[in-house]
Amino acid sequence: MDKAKGTANKGADVAEQVTDSPWFRRAARAGYIANGVIHLVLGVIAWNLAFGGGGEQADQSGAVRTLSEQPFGMVLIWFCMLGAFMLGLWHVSEAIFAAMGRTTKDKSDRAKETVKGAGKAIAFFAIASTCITFAFGGDKDSGDEAQSLTATLMSNPAGAILLYAIGAGLVIAGGFYVYKGVSKKFEEDLKATSRKEISKAITVTGVIGHAAKGLVLAAVGLLFIVATAKNNPEESTGIDGALKAMLDQPFGQPLLAAVGAGLVLFGIYLFMRSAYDRMD
């Protein structure tokens, strides 16, 4: 038992040395740029949708598809894929170190940081997966995937409970994003900068961007809940369906335009976060 523990600790020491290396940190920071590119394009798609232009799918796969159609688009897609994958690995290491008690000794904090790291890793691996599909000439439809998942889970009672939990979780996550933006708690993730103009730009884009991201996540969660309540998988269409549902509401056009602009600002915030994230 002690020997196995010692081997695990040695392995963790090696992993910590790798993740602390400058080259790994630089590669991981590229993941924020990748995520920023996705949100920037998604925001433009949402803006076009608000004003009746374009037929692009307004979600992650739609954003990557739009990138693939641009000059040098495949270069950007490969960059986004590698950056997202490396940042995903970074968050995997965060989750493992937290679970081992290397970053905090408090058990409740360990559990929270482990789940947080794992969740972020899954999110960035999902971006990498979408990018690699298009990089090799494939295609992907996030809306269809959401409908398929919903239909599969609806086929049994336990699945319906899980769908309600997923929906509620997304609504809560959305609310947290809004709170994190409005309260400026996101600044805790960043290193201080002496340049006032940069600090102000990070604050403005961070506040508005987090609020917009939160509204989108909450809307996706509501679609899961509505789809489950109506026993209709077609109601669950991911981000694309959430943005289009906003357009159908009273004052939907200005709302969607504002959310689109907010997603663009969130993308710009992520570009700056790649330079100023603490990563410690």
Section 136-165 average pLDDT: 80
Distance CA 247, CA 113 (A): 36
Q: What are the tens digits of pLDDT across the range 38-76?
A: 999 999 988 888 887 666 677 788 888 888 888 888 999
Q: What are the tens digits of pLDDT across the range 98-107?
A: 777 766 666 7
User: What percent of the chain shows pLDDT beyond 70?
Assistant: 88
Distance CA 74, CA 32 (A): 18
| pLDDT class of 146 with cuts at 50, 70, 90 | confident
Q: Which helix (H) or strand (E) holds 251?
A: none
Q: What are the tens digits of pLDDT across the range 231-243?
A: 887 777 778 888 8
Q: Is 273 exposed, middle or buried (0-12, 13-18, 19+ CB in 10 A)?
A: buried
Q: State yes or no: pLDDT of 8 exceeds 50.
A: no
Q: State yes or no: pLDDT of 267 exceeds 80.
A: yes
Q: Which helix (H) or strand (E) holds 100?
A: none
More confident of the two residues 271 and 24: 271
**Cα-atom radius of gyration of the chain, to the nearest Å?**
20
Q: State yes or no: pLDDT of 256 exceeds 80.
A: yes
Q: State yes or no: pLDDT of 92 exceeds 80.
A: yes
Do 274 and 36 contact (CB within 8 A), yes or no? Answer: yes
Residue 266 main-chain phi, psi, to 5 deg:
-65, -40
Distance CA 131, CA 81 (A): 5
- pLDDT number for residue 266: 96
Alpha-carbon torsion, ordered 79, 80, 81, 87, to 10 deg: 110
Q: What are the tens digits of pLDDT across the range 190-236?
A: 877 767 777 889 999 999 999 999 999 999 899 888 888 888 877 77
Mean pLDDT, the chain, whole residue set: 83
Section 174-199 average pLDDT: 86
Confidence (pTM):
0.83
More confident of the two residues 155 and 17: 155
Section 179-187 average pLDDT: 93
- pLDDT number for residue 14: 53
Q: Is 46 exposed, middle or buried (0-12, 13-18, 19+ CB in 10 A)?
A: buried
Q: State yes or no: pLDDT of 262 exceeds 60.
A: yes
Q: State yes or no: pLDDT of 263 exceeds 50.
A: yes
* Angle between the N-to-C axes of helices 196-229 and 238-247, in degrees from 0 to 180, rounded to the nearest 10: 90
Number of residues that this document lists for the chain: 280
Spell out a b/e string for 205-238, using b for 16 or more CB atoms within 10 Å of the CB, else e.
bbbbbbbbbbbbbbbbbbbbbebbeeeebebbbb
Residue 59 main-chain phi, psi, to 5 deg:
-155, -170
β-bridge partners, 162? none
Distance CA 216, CA 58 (A): 11
- pLDDT number for residue 257: 92
- pLDDT number for residue 4: 46
